Amino acid sequence: MQIIDGKAVSEQIKKEIAEEVSRMIAKGEKRPHLAAVLVGHDGGSETYVANKVKACEACGFRSTLIRFEENITEDGLLRKVRELNEEADIDGFMVQLPLPKHISEQRVIEAIDYRKDVDGFHPINVGRLAIGLPCFISATPNGILELLKRYNIDTKGKKCVILGRSNIVGKPMANLMMRKATPGDATVTVLHSHSRYIREECRQADIIIAAMGHPDFLTADMVKEGAVIIDVGTTRVPDTTKKSGFRLNGDVKFDEVAPKCAFITPVPGGVGPMTIVSLMRNTLLAGKREIYP
Ligand code: GUN
């Protein structure tokens, strides 16, 4: 069994990006610039956005953090999105989700210029991914793909079970795994809260990508010997032994599943760091106008 070290891979990629940025600056090109919009004070979102800003520094990007209080109106937020669309120095930006209940996330996502949508959430990017055109790819699925690639994990013709059908992870992941590409070319099954025979489906899977946000859902009896297990879960569960009072818990019961598999991602230190680095890569692509010239 091999543990997939997402932290190490992400550090390596950040280094590669920083080198590329140095070359760009040496050639007199513009420094890529990411803006992040954060509404309210949700603990998880605060941490994610702070980590994104930190990653920008490591990559040599410029970053701008725009904060609003919880009570900002939808119109107020949409106005800021349109401003960012127009601001020439900003290559890409993202609005951290979830948003307060009184704001439509979909309306905000659709207001973002798809050419600056480094999260890959805009319907144009989602649609282009579905039909195999160049686009910004959602960060978590793209990070998983990069891990599969860097660990030389064969996906061609393999049975891949995806647990969860979210717009951010499950759906784009399914599209990527069935793409005519490497990694890709897999036979994909997407399971969700209404699926039947979940255990049986999982037991036949060569690759399982667990992304339902249900701590410890995947147990050893659901996994076949030699499977590849990717754990996207990051549920905060109370833990008095931690200074913060919580720990991040994956969707996989790691201790019992790990001995059975060929590869497994830990939580934390698996998929999480790759998500942020994928956003950085998208920002680099945006800065270089590589996807939408
Ligand atoms: N909330 C959780 N993950 C993400 C993400 O990748 N992007 C944004 N914008 N919000 C999130």
For 110-159, the pLDDT digits (tens) are: 999 999 999 999 999 999 999 999 999 999 999 999 999 999 999 999 99
- What is the four-CA torsion angle of 67, 73, 78, 81, rounded to 10 degrees? 0
Report which protein residue has its CA nearest ligand 1's atom 3. 97
**Per-residue pLDDT averaged across 201-229, rounded?**
98
Q: 240 CA distance to ligand 1 centroid (A)?
A: 27
Reply yes or no: is the peptide bond before residue 172 cis, omega within 30 of 0: no
Pocket of ligand 1 (CB under 6 A): 94-97, 119, 139, 168
Nearest to 280 by CA among 52, 9, 121: 52
Ligand 1 pocket test, pick from 105, 119, 144, 271 with the greatest ligand atom count within 8 Å of Cβ, gives 119
Mean pLDDT of the chain: 98
Reported confidence tier of residue 253, pLDDT bands at 50, 70, 90 = very high
Q: 49 CA distance to ligand 1 centroid (A)?
A: 9
Look at the chain and count its residues.
Answer: 293
Q: 97 CA distance to ligand 1 centroid (A)?
A: 5
Reported confidence tier of residue 25, pLDDT bands at 50, 70, 90 = very high
Assign residue 238 a region (left: φ > 0; alpha: ψ between -120 and 50; beta: otherwise).
beta
Residue 83: CB atoms within 10 A of its CB come to: 12
> Residue 225 has which token pair?
């010997």
Ligand 1 atom with the shortest distance to the CA of 45: 1
The DSSP bridge partners found for residue 264 are 3, 229
User: What was the pLDDT predicted at 173?
Assistant: 98
pTM: 0.96
Q: 243 CA distance to ligand 1 centroid (A)?
A: 25
User: What was the pLDDT predicted at 29?
Assistant: 98
User: What was the pLDDT predicted at 211?
Assistant: 98
User: What was the pLDDT predicted at 291?
Assistant: 98
The catalytic residue among 119, 206, 231, 251 is 119
Alpha-carbon distance 55 to 277, whole Å? 7
Alpha-helical segments (H) within the chain: 6-26, 43-59, 74-86, 105-111, 123-130, 139-150, 170-178, 198-203, 254-257, 271-287
Q: Based on the residue annotation, tell me whether 119 is a catalytic residue of this protein.
A: yes
Alpha-carbon distance 284 to 241, whole Å? 39
Reported confidence tier of residue 233, pLDDT bands at 50, 70, 90 = very high
User: What was the pLDDT predicted at 78?
Assistant: 99
The catalytic residue among 5, 14, 80, 96 is 96
